[in-house]
Structure 1
């Protein structure tokens, strides 16, 4: 079946089978505005599906997705940056109470950190964007020896989450609300092959099953 035709049919199914359950809440949100309590920062990878993974409803999460679920460090200038704008909007306008940075296994962005694309004229913007992952790469290389490339890639994916959490706290409003306990920040790691999610425990500097998370 043609891909677009399948999407059209999917929309028809959505309107008939799912939309009626959310219609009242969505109409209310149009009148009152959206009020999500979560900013979810995830990867653009087509296999990462936040709403399915977490069984959420429309309006539950404000979602920012980009290549590698990277968080650019705060810069006090007027350079155009969609990811930074989304973070600012979620925190300062929507007043979200939680920010989740969710990395995942088999991340193409983290793997690409080890590829040489410096001469690829078709990947100019990708090359610049991947600079946001270099610190995670260096942290991985310095940490230990790996028996396989796959082990190194998995470690890089987790180290990237650590790095993006640090970058998130460079945003003054995020840092202020975090220090005042007005907002919680979470680092999650999604395993595409199993559906499992681990959370980052900063006190122990490791990842644990999400079901063990306590506030």
Structure 2
């Protein structure tokens, strides 16, 4: 009896014969000693923009949180369920990460949905619609700009969403305090799926620039 899709099992076989075989001691050390990643990566759950692949990260190097459109909600200790906030809390307070990177990407479906909804909600709960309403005011401002093409509006909001999430990160007391003490660094990045280009946000101007790799 097969309990997983065959494609996944084949991938696992390749993993065991390849990466795990070459990094067995590292995996065992991580199992015995626990994880100590220095960077929390908040990224989109889009299957085309996996942070571990983009940054060629090995096991234990990145603590990754992925959700629709790489959003960080504002600090809200209201007793409700908060997946992204709980992961953030653990990364900052438990793992003591030194860096937080919010990484968006081109052709984001979540961003596209909030810019110009063309379909009915996928379910009565409309969880995606509720989640993306976090960007409502920004989406309204961008979508009203008729001087931009649809593609330009999409890219603009993808990058605005990164600045939005960084601002929301600073509403969390643990993040705000540690950043002001110089013990935590916040970064923004945007990845173009089509070209493989990575753009980093200038912390002073907010502009996105291509980092020099030489």
Q: Does the pair score TM above 0.5? A: yes
Matches within 5 A, 1:125-136: 125-136=127-138
Paired with 2:166 and 2:22, the residues of 1 have a C-alpha distance of 35
* SS in structure 1 at match of 2:42: strand
Residue 5 of structure 1, CA deviation: 1.3
Task: Map 1:1-215; keep pairs closer than 5 Å.
Answer: 4-116=5-117, 120=121, 122=123, 124-141=126-143, 145-211=146-212
Q: Deviations over 1:162-190 (max 9, x none)?
A: 11110111110010100101011000000
Q: Distance in 2 between matches of 1:98 and 1:177?
A: 11
Deviation string, structure 1 residues 107-136 (Cα, Å, up to 9, x no partner): 111110123479636151111111122243
How many residue pairs end up in the alignment? 209
Q: How far off is 1:196 after superposition?
A: 1.1
Give 1:21 shift: 2.1
How many angstroms apart in 1 are the aligned matches of 2:45 and 2:147?
27
Q: In the aligned structure 2, how far is the partner of 1:138 from the partner of 1:22?
A: 48
Contact 2:199 2:208 in 1 (8 A): yes
Return closer, same or farther for 1:16/1:121 CA change in 2, 3 Å cut-off: closer
Instruction: Tell me which moved more, 112-121 or 180-189.
Output: 112-121
RMSD: 1.9
CA distance in 2, matches of 1:205, 1:42: 18
Q: More displaced, 129-138 or 29-38?
A: 129-138
Structure 2 Cα separation of the partners of residues 170 and 177 of structure 1: 12
Contact 2:115 2:143 in 1 (8 A): no
Give the gaps of 5 or more residues in structure 2: none
With normalisation by structure 2, the TM-score equals 0.91
